[in-house]
Amino acid sequence: MNAFEFENVSFAYSDHNVFTHINLKIAAGDFVAIVGGNGAGKSTLLKLCVGSLKPDCGQVKIFGQPVASYREWYKVGYVPQNPLRDKSFPTTVEEIVAMGRVARLGIGRRLGQADRDMIVRAMNLVGMGNMRSKIIGQLSGGQQQRVMVARALAAEPEVLILDEPTAGVDTTGSEEFYALLQSLHKDSGITVLIVSHDVDRMVKYANTIANFDQGLKYYGSVDHFYQPPRYVNSRKVRKGEILNHA
């Protein structure tokens, strides 16, 4: 079963081609690290996956259905880049995590005991259970990211999509964050798609790499990607100088 399929997808921002006729299958249960230089199309790939952008040609499928007609979006947990736009927004950790249940419940239905239990479980999973009453703006960048992951987990997703989740997070916070993602992936079988510039750390935990440099240059296992003689260090990945293993 594939979580996502890109069939002959092309996409351009006005005159800048990002993807030209790419084909890609992301298997359910994979932990995919999406790497590449600035402007290589990493975030664009995620936006195509969640329907925020539409391909110029070809189609993107999610669990076998075209994105445009997909309805079970609560199965997709999305953690955006800079998730907290307004630090003064008056809301607590628990209130934010509860938002994760909204789409699954549907309009007009209130949170029940099972929903509340799931909210507590999600907060505990990311280690924020003891901060449920804290205002989000008072937390560190790493803690805020954990809250956003908890919100996504509260929906009991089958896919977790994260766009630069550790930007602005310190080293310890990043390490803990990736360890958390890995345990979620291993324990719950969640498919993880993550874009980050933190390549060294990311590839320690992911099992698959998608490398973009003027198109998709490599998609496959992390081990194969780093196999000699084509050993490539992460600095080159960051610079978009990766060899084509595809």
Partner 1 sequence: MLEILQFDFMQRAVVAGLLVGLICPFIGIFIILKKQSLIGDGLGHIAFAGVATGWLLGIYPVLSATVVTVLAALGIEELRVRRPAFADMMLAIFFYSGIACAVLFSSMAKTNAVSLFGYLFGSIVTVSVQDVWTVVGLAVVVLLILGVIFKELVFVTFDEEVARISGVPIKKINMVLAVLTALTVSISMRIVGILMVSALMVIPVAASLQISHSFRSTLINAVIISEISVITGLTASFYMNFASGGTIVITAALLFMIAFILKQAVFERIGKSKTMQQSG
Binding stretches for partner 1 (CB under 8 A): 50-52, 71-74, 76, 78, 80, 83, 85-86, 88-92, 95-96, 98-100, 102-103, 105, 107-108, 110-111, 133, 135, 151, 155
- Tally of CA atoms within 13 A in the half-sphere of 9 that contains its CB: 26
Query: Among residues 44 and 211, whose Cβ is nearest to partner 1?
Result: 44
Helix axis angle for 113-125 and 141-154, nearest 10°, is: 140
Distance from C-alpha of 233 to C-alpha of 210, rounded to nearest angstrom: 15
Query: Among residues 38 and 133, whose Cβ is nearest to partner 1?
Result: 133
Least CB distance from residue 229 to partner 1, whole Å?
Answer: 42
Least CB distance from residue 141 to partner 1, whole Å?
Answer: 16
Query: Among residues 41 and 80, whose Cβ is nearest to partner 1?
Result: 80
Query: Among residues 143 and 211, whose Cβ is nearest to partner 1?
Result: 143
Two structure tokens written together for 197:
């510039």
Least CB distance from residue 160 to partner 1, whole Å?
Answer: 12
Are the C-beta atoms of 67 and 113 separated by less than 8 Å?
Answer: no
Query: Among residues 61 and 151, whose Cβ is nearest to partner 1?
Result: 151
Least CB distance from residue 48 to partner 1, whole Å?
Answer: 12
Least CB distance from residue 216 to partner 1, whole Å?
Answer: 23
- Tally of CA atoms within 13 A in the half-sphere of 36 that contains its CB: 24
Two structure tokens written together for 21:
């006729």
Query: Among residues 113 and 228, whose Cβ is nearest to partner 1?
Result: 113
Least CB distance from residue 147 to partner 1, whole Å?
Answer: 11
